[in-house]
Structure 1
């Protein structure tokens, strides 16, 4: 029989071997798997969103949108916009474009009223809200009356729901300010807001929080919308705002579609304007059917299952045409 000292030495050697094996197991495949499933970066970190083409990213994108944000630029035809706005043209190519889209009137205000209420209401000028006190329901009022959210974000507007021009803020580009029924006026004072910037303000906060309204209208000021400044300026403004919005949770998770259109052309193209649709699931989609601003007026109502207002009721369904609902 081995002596006691020799048996003790063997036992010590065995314990040492077991310790080494345990350390190997801890650093082996199980440990690697744990590292691979670490939590993704939190919103607001340096990450710009899910990796393109990853299965996890695809699985997290909603099949249909539940929110719509519309940006309205000014007074240029489709041909002019594509030729002078390379960033917007790239958005059209990447996501989608309605190739035969038409404004409904001249000058600006009737088109904005069509977008907000499904009608020009007989208006044929650009006068401020005091000259056109519109009764009845707007798209904003319809949605909020049925428990949905709606807002306007107007750049350079001095106070909520401002009724008069101020600097580069044009009241004629803010259609919610024209509707005078008490419910409409109350909603305007509460939800018709100065846009702020990509660094701070109501729109910034809603994008960062992933809490954009069901329907929102984003109105640049009269320089950034291409009215008083070159289209290159408007394109630069979009280049600041759209990537910021598209990196937000509403867009990247497929809840939000962004539409960029023009109120009217420059009187030389039959009111044929560029209208771009961007959504996480769209890839180089071209829809050739003829649409007007009436279809865009109807889109928020249809999105939540409500009847479109006025001319919108008989308009073709542009969201369905793009496969967004």
Structure 2
């Protein structure tokens, strides 16, 4: 990897905005992302491959959408190689993060949108414990787990981040996503991965809905920007026919990996985004960026330095041009007057003798801007009873700010953040009103619509009615499932007869009715889930208990002449006959025996008389 243009890549996937929806240079509205792209590399012809989202994500790591022309494909269904196969074969490491996912590090990994925005779940050969261990969650409010990975002793060569549907602009709009990246990107660029390796950061969108010329794929182009110590500065690229497949062709060309399909094999790579790489005795170089792009009086300005070459570690110092100073790669400063200032950043390395690099820029401080606010919700389509976290922020005016919320159903709240749960399904408009501390006070409001979904009762499956003989076991199992958020199933049974048992964990009913329990029994099974409010489902099952047939193994109390255990010695010899015929046969046999006895007595008497006559 010594000669590779980059040896680490971090990729952040954003959602549903075209290039010129985002980039100010062609009519967009994302101030931070536009400034960031102008300072680094912006690809002007990066095309998408399909609609809606999931096919684009699959194309990015698989080289094709494999017929996935809709969302909702999950999981492990594609039997084809992907970029993970190529990287692991080359001894390269990887991790894939999704904000607010469950099942981190397991094959039960479940991002909030399933596989729609996380294609690693769609490939069959990803379904192994070793690979699932690299499918990781990160907390959307801070991305601590993701940033910890970048600052680990050995950061992975390939790191992927899928933000949640607010941070990625899917639900909460361009301003929310721009704000999210303005906080996260400086932390990425100052991480160990970006200060000790040849790392690059790619921010790209899955799809947009505006066409552009000279692009590949569907003819729509999206914002795609490379940055980091090895990316060029202030460069715009327009390679003909670039697309999501260029993501693969760029990685494959940089790392000497084989193509996956003819799509990535034929896509132009973007290695021209990266400069010539110095590997030994590299001179110290430094530059910096500041945010916001148009800072105002009495507001914080964040300065971020990017230093390369020389010998680590670096020391960075700042002169803010108004008498203020600071140290460290990321610093903040507040200006108290509206005018232009020259900021000077000085970086020094640890070589002997020490190398020094200096970078200067001018910043114009504007008068106090008007009060404005952004308003976000953790879900725009929650279920009834699901907790929704509303997050507000304000800029301009005079801090501190007061936040008042109405949720559209009569509920209210104050502060930031605020958690609320709707009790009924429907469409609601939530509104935040922000008031500043100026005199006189200024206020501004922002609204959003939430579509609250009704809870769905659990599905309960109960066997049909049962018939059992007294003295024998009956075992039946009921099952249930729930699609509700937090829908852990709870099973119960009422009307259980004496001696019966029901296991609510397995759903198994077991009972051996006694001979005194003949009759009909109705048992009611109920399935409820742990969502609030609960939506139980109940179903009945009837058990008919019949008496055992007489003469069987129940002690022979149905017969008249058996032994102590009710057995019949001749039953195997003579065929069974009805009771009336049996009585007739027995009576006939008794008559025959009596007749033979009388005949025998008479014969003996006749012989005795004959003997006496002969004797005389």
Q: For residue 133 of structure 1, report the CA deviation from its aligned partner.
A: 0.3
Relative to structure 1, the CA distance from residue 128 to residue 110 in structure 2 (aligned partners, 3 Å threshold; closer, same or farther) is same
Greater alpha carbon shift after TM alignment, 97-106 vs 252-261: 252-261
Partner of 1:272: 221
Residue pair 1:115, 1:294 contacting (<8 A) in 2 also: yes
Partner of 1:144: 88
Question: What TM-score, normalized to structure 1?
Answer: 0.73
- Asked if 1:207 corresponds to 2:150, the answer is yes
Which secondary structure does the structure 1 equivalent of 2:203 belong to? strand
Q: Give the counterpart of 1:135 among 79, 84, 91.
A: 79
Distance 1:217 1:164 in 2: 15
Partner of 1:231: 174
Partner of 2:259: 308
Mapping of residues 1-325 of structure 1, within 5 Å: 64-82=5-23, 83-130=28-75, 133-160=77-104, 168-181=112-125, 185-196=128-139, 201-209=144-152, 211-253=154-196, 255-266=198-209, 270-281=219-230, 282-290=232-240, 291-310=242-261, 311-323=263-275
Q: For residue 197 of structure 1, report the CA deviation from its aligned partner.
A: 5.5
Q: For residue 320 of structure 1, report the CA deviation from its aligned partner.
A: 3.9
Residue pair 2:102, 2:110 contacting (<8 A) in 1 also: no
Relative to structure 1, the CA distance from residue 187 to residue 196 in structure 2 (aligned partners, 3 Å threshold; closer, same or farther) is farther
Which secondary structure does the structure 1 equivalent of 2:121 belong to? helix
Relative to structure 1, the CA distance from residue 63 to residue 150 in structure 2 (aligned partners, 3 Å threshold; closer, same or farther) is closer
Which secondary structure does the structure 2 equivalent of 1:173 belong to? coil
Relative to structure 1, the CA distance from residue 152 to residue 285 in structure 2 (aligned partners, 3 Å threshold; closer, same or farther) is same
Distance 2:97 2:154 in 1: 14
Q: For residue 308 of structure 1, report the CA deviation from its aligned partner.
A: 2.2
Distance 1:235 1:324 in 2: 31
Greater alpha carbon shift after TM alignment, 118-127 vs 247-256: 247-256
Partner of 1:23: none
Per-residue displacement from partner, 1:134-161 (whole Å, max 9, x unpaired)? 0121112221233111121111111236
Q: For residue 287 of structure 1, report the CA deviation from its aligned partner.
A: 1.1
Relative to structure 1, the CA distance from residue 240 to residue 216 in structure 2 (aligned partners, 3 Å threshold; closer, same or farther) is same
Q: Which of the pair is proportionally richer in helix?
A: 1
Distance 2:267 2:239 in 1: 12
Q: For residue 214 of structure 1, report the CA deviation from its aligned partner.
A: 1.2
Q: For residue 106 of structure 1, report the CA deviation from its aligned partner.
A: 0.8
Q: For residue 309 of structure 1, report the CA deviation from its aligned partner.
A: 1.4
Q: Which has the larger radius of gyration?
A: 2
Relative to structure 1, the CA distance from residue 234 to residue 186 in structure 2 (aligned partners, 3 Å threshold; closer, same or farther) is same
Residue pair 1:197, 1:204 contacting (<8 A) in 2 also: no
Relative to structure 1, the CA distance from residue 155 to residue 81 in structure 2 (aligned partners, 3 Å threshold; closer, same or farther) is same
Relative to structure 1, the CA distance from residue 229 to residue 81 in structure 2 (aligned partners, 3 Å threshold; closer, same or farther) is same
Residue pair 2:166, 2:172 contacting (<8 A) in 1 also: yes
Distance 2:258 2:147 in 1: 31
Question: What TM-score, normalized to structure 2?
Answer: 0.40
Q: For residue 253 of structure 1, report the CA deviation from its aligned partner.
A: 4.0
Residue pair 1:137, 1:184 contacting (<8 A) in 2 also: no
Which secondary structure does the structure 2 equivalent of 1:147 belong to? coil
Distance 1:147 1:241 in 2: 29
Distance 1:200 1:229 in 2: 18
Distance 1:228 1:200 in 2: 19
Greater alpha carbon shift after TM alignment, 143-152 vs 299-308: 299-308
Greater alpha carbon shift after TM alignment, 151-160 vs 193-202: 193-202
Residue pair 1:78, 1:272 contacting (<8 A) in 2 also: yes
Q: For residue 280 of structure 1, report the CA deviation from its aligned partner.
A: 1.6
Aligned residues: 261
Per-residue displacement from partner, 1:85-139 (whole Å, max 9, x unpaired)? 1111111011111111111111111100010111111110001314x70012111
Distance 1:303 1:146 in 2: 12
